[in-house]
Amino acid sequence: MTARLAIDYVDLHPALKDEHGNLKLEYTTDVLHLNVEGYETVLQVLQKHLN
């Protein structure tokens, strides 16, 4: 569907998950929202796709 609509999709889950598939504790303070380290990881992943 994303190809048909010319939309790029970037899966952030692999970069943020732990061995159980949950958000790594180092990327959050409440197990739900990203902290600074989490957003820095997201930025690193997205920059690879933007260049």
Whole-number average pLDDT of the chain: 93
CA distance 29 to 16: 14
Q: CA 50, 15, 18 angle in degrees (round to 5)?
A: 170
1 confidence band (pLDDT: 50, 70, 90): low
From CA 50, how far away is CA 7, in angstroms rounded? Answer: 13
Check pLDDT > 90 for residue 44. yes
Note the pLDDT of residue 6: 82
| Residue 30, pLDDT above cutoff 70 | yes
Q: Domain ranges for the chain, please list them.
A: 13-50
